[in-house]
Amino acid sequence: MALTGSILVLALFVVAFLAPWISPYDPEKIDLNHVLSPPSSSHWLGTDQLGRDVLSRMIWGSRISLKVGFVSTGIALLIGVILGAISGYYGGWVDQVIMRFVDIMLCFPTFFLILAVIAFLEPSIWNIMVVIGATGWMGITRLVRADFISLRERDFVMAARAIGASDWRIIFSHILPNAMASVLVAGTLGVAGAILTESALSFLGIGVQPPTPSWGNILTAGKDNIDIAWWLSFFPGLAILFTVMGYNLLGEGIRDALDPRLDLQN
């Protein structure tokens, strides 16, 4: 399972890095003589409504997915780990304030909020990454907080405190490494979620803007030509499915490998 996951994820990395060399056409080159042509030997996955090669657009689109997945999860991890660590380590009113804030954020229909913010800002890939990250940290905060609460009374923390280590040092060099297992798992699963959200936003037309190719915005073209060009809808979605599945399997694999205790939670 984890193996399948890592192969899928690795394949995505390879494709994204090699995009300039392996894509058969320029992804933004318009060819009005071959508009909406079905898959053939010259265009393996067909062409879109402007005659652009779908395979090339998908290969370049993988870069977007990779970037969005990592940057937005990075942002979510940064916020989630810091808030969770402070909340779990200090407890008391700090914990109360942070946890109530988490509760509030969890009450949002998150997708509505993302939609509103992205539509009001200029739709650009950076805005998308920031907003997906800024609305996806609550689960991580709760996980890290729970780990910190159970770890902060342990002997090794006591020992660190006894030799006069600062709070900052205890949090980041003593407790956090012990909480990394759940952070890593949440991060991997977060990448999968971010890729799904980006593709949904691009599909709705407020994500990555054409002509820049993204799997989501190729699907929009698929929807517009749904009655005549099935290939425009079929292949990009398949790519999303396999990528997200890859990260999910990898996350589950890491969970099993690092911490068998965590298995009971799901």
Partner 1 sequence: MWPYVVKRLVLMVPILLGITIICFTVMHLAPGSPTDLQTQMNPRASAELKARLRAMYDLDKPLPVQYWLWLKRMVVLDFGRSFSPDRRPVLDKIKERIPVTLAINFLSLLAILAVAIPLGVSAAVRRGSLFDNLTSVLVFTGFAMPTFWLALLLMIFFGIYLDWLPISGIRSLNYEYLPPWAAFWDLLKHLILPVSLSAFGGLAGLSRFMRANMLEVIRQEYIMTARAKGLPERVVIYRHALRNALLPIITILGLSIPGLIGGSVVFETIFAIPGMGQLFYMAVMARDYPTVMGILFIGAVLTLIGNLIADVAYALADPRIRV
CB of residue 215 vs partner 1: minimum separation in angstroms?
9
In angstroms, rounded to a whole number, what is the distance separating the alpha carbons of residues 133 and 124? 14
CB of residue 222 vs partner 1: minimum separation in angstroms?
6
Size of the site for partner 1 (CB under 8 A): 44
116 binds partner 1 (CB under 8 A): yes
Minimum CB distance to partner 1 smaller for 178 or for 225: 225
218 binds partner 1 (CB under 8 A): no
17 binds partner 1 (CB under 8 A): no
196 binds partner 1 (CB under 8 A): yes
Among positions 22, 158, 226, 257, the unique one binding partner 1 when judged by CB under 8 A? 226
Binding segment for partner 1 (CB under 8 A), chosen from 16-24, 48-56, 66-74, 112-120, is: 112-120
CB of residue 214 vs partner 1: minimum separation in angstroms?
12
CB of residue 161 vs partner 1: minimum separation in angstroms?
35
Burial of 194 (0-12, 13-18, 19+ CB in 10 A): buried
The 3-state secondary structure of the chain reads CHHHHHHHHHHHHHHHHCHHHHCCCCCCCCCHHHCCCCCCCCCCCCECCCCCEHHHHHHHHHHHHHHHHHHHHHHHHHHHHHHHHHHHHHCHHHHHHHHHHHHHHHHCCHHHHHHHHHHHCCCCHHHHHHHHHHCCCHHHHHHHHHHHHHHCCCHHHHHHHHCCCCHHHHHHHHHHHHHHHHHHHHHHHHHHHHHHHHHHHHHCCCCCCCCCCCHHHHHHHHHHCCCCCHHHHHHHHHHHHHHHHHHHHHHHHHHHHHCHHHHHHC
Minimum CB distance to partner 1 smaller for 176 or for 244: 244
CB of residue 189 vs partner 1: minimum separation in angstroms?
9
39 binds partner 1 (CB under 8 A): no
* Residues with Cβ within 8 Å of residue 82, at least 6 apart in sequence: none
187 binds partner 1 (CB under 8 A): no
Minimum CB distance to partner 1 smaller for 81 or for 201: 201
156 binds partner 1 (CB under 8 A): no
CB of residue 176 vs partner 1: minimum separation in angstroms?
28
Would you tell me which residues interact with partner 1 (CB under 8 A)?
100-101, 103-104, 106-113, 115-117, 119-122, 192, 196, 199-200, 203-204, 219, 222-223, 226-227, 230, 233-234, 236-237, 240-242, 244-245, 248-249, 264, 266
